[in-house]
Amino acid sequence: MIVTVTLNPALDLTYQVDALVPHGTHRVTTVAERPGGKGLNVATVLHALGEPVLATGLLGGPTGDRVTGLLAGVGVPAAFVAIAGETRRTVAVADRDDATGFWEPGPRVTAGEWAAFTDHFGGLLARASVVALSGSLPPGVPIDGYATLIRLAAAAGVPTVLDTSGEALRHGLAAGPDLAKPNAAELAALLAAPRPVMAATRNTSQPGPAGALGATRAAPSGREVADATVALDHGARAVVVSHGPLGLLALTGQGAWRGVPPERLAGNPTGAGDAVVAALARGLRDRTPWPHLLADAIALSAAAVAAPLAGRIDEDTYRRLLPAVRVSAA
């Protein structure tokens, strides 16, 4: 099974209003509740594809109970560790034009709760084929929390996909995830940060597939490729950078590829990156060749854009676009 980790999940509320008027009072016409957090979207997409999946992470309080109930409602298997703090909410206020988001801070996680989670995670690894680690870290989880989980997975021979940002990404990369999936903005932030000494050490002592980094660095085909190597420099064994509707760029041990969607879809881009992670996790498990994997990730991402809710996919769009995605060497 594919294990998805969501350390800072949320109860996502979407409020429909006519038009957002700052400092006005709005009667909300409809309220939608869904399990929120990038890792939960990954799990929901994998479950919709019929893939065996288990969602784990940290949940607490009545809001955490609600998330558990909503996950059960869509049939996603879950095994979360309970914390004393209360799971956060996010509120998206949708009007005729766009959405305005309000993100509560996550609950504070104690050292004991984090230790309980790493134990729990270690126990799941025996049954895991791939681990996907997604989203932000709540207060109290060490900034190198993802690095800890990546090292535990590596020791158990389980490949990892990391999708986070900022310091959590930088520290996570140092543990050598098999695949990192920053978007262009997250990559830019990483470029602006100092390169850790740790990463170079790791690349020497635990090299990725033969010639991987050398081949990639020898043949950059543009600024984007050059930028993407920063994730490899920080420690990732491969990187897939999402450029929104412009597609994906992969730098891997087997080569570098660029994939472009066959058409531009209107819709809801929230959750599109999580659909990419779902495809990547499945592809890592199946050792899918990179060009095919990139095409699958792009079609699934477009299918997420075509579905109105994050974490859902439009299966017709997926089937229609998959044969039409163009992937070429970068």
Stretch binding a second copy (CB under 8 A), from 49-57, 73-81, 91-99, 235-243: 91-99
Nearest partner of 132 among 40, 48, 64, 212, judged by Cα: 40
Are the C-beta atoms of 257 and 290 separated by less than 8 Å? yes
Considering only residues 56 through 75, tell me which ones interact with a second copy, judged by CB under 8 A. Answer: 62, 65-66
Considering only residues 31 through 50, tell me which ones interact with a second copy, judged by CB under 8 A. Answer: 31
| 167 makes contact with a second copy (CB under 8 A) | no
Helix pair 272-286, 290-306: axis angle to 10 deg: 150
Nearest partner of 180 among 223, 150, 222, judged by Cα: 150
Are the C-beta atoms of 78 and 59 separated by less than 8 Å? no
How many residues of this chain interact with a second copy, rule: CB under 8 A? 29
Nearer to a second copy, 100 or 254 (CB): 100
- CA-based Rg of the chain, rounded to a whole angstrom? 19
Considering only residues 92 through 111, tell me which ones interact with a second copy, judged by CB under 8 A. Answer: 93, 97-105
Nearer to a second copy, 93 or 125 (CB): 93
Considering only residues 277 through 316, tell me which ones interact with a second copy, judged by CB under 8 A. Answer: none
Q: CA 310 to CA 41: how far, in whole Å?
A: 7
CB of 193 vs a second copy, minimal distance in Å: 19
Q: Which of 45, 91, 109, 230 binds a second copy (CB under 8 A)?
A: 91
Q: Which of 4, 5, 15, 238 binds a second copy (CB under 8 A)?
A: 15
Are the C-beta atoms of 88 and 104 separated by less than 8 Å? yes
CB of 11 vs a second copy, minimal distance in Å: 10
Residues 6+ apart with CB under 8 A from 171: 143, 144, 146, 147
Nearer to a second copy, 19 or 197 (CB): 19
Nearer to a second copy, 97 or 194 (CB): 97
Q: CA 43 to CA 163: how far, in whole Å?
A: 14
CB of 248 vs a second copy, minimal distance in Å: 23
Stretch binding a second copy (CB under 8 A), from 14-22, 185-193, 209-217, 239-247: 14-22
Considering only residues 244 through 283, tell me which ones interact with a second copy, judged by CB under 8 A. Answer: none
Are the C-beta atoms of 87 and 64 separated by less than 8 Å? yes
CB atoms closer than 10 angstroms to residue 168: 23
CB of 226 vs a second copy, minimal distance in Å: 29
Q: CA 322 to CA 288: how far, in whole Å?
A: 15
Q: CA 35 to CA 22: how far, in whole Å?
A: 27
Q: CA 91 to CA 36: how far, in whole Å?
A: 10
* Cα dihedral across residues 47, 179, 35, 243: positive or negative: negative
For residue 287, which phi and psi values (nearest 5 degrees)? 50, 40
Stretch binding a second copy (CB under 8 A), from 76-84, 90-98, 183-191, 248-256: 90-98
Are the C-beta atoms of 231 and 187 separated by less than 8 Å? yes
Nearer to a second copy, 183 or 252 (CB): 183
Q: Which of 17, 116, 198, 309 binds a second copy (CB under 8 A)?
A: 17
Amino acid at 218: A
| 141 makes contact with a second copy (CB under 8 A) | no
Stretch binding a second copy (CB under 8 A), from 88-96, 108-116, 278-286, 290-298: 88-96
CB of 17 vs a second copy, minimal distance in Å: 7
Nearer to a second copy, 31 or 193 (CB): 31
Which residues form the interface with a second copy (CB under 8 A)?
Answer: 13, 15, 17, 20-29, 31, 62, 65-66, 89, 91, 93, 97-105
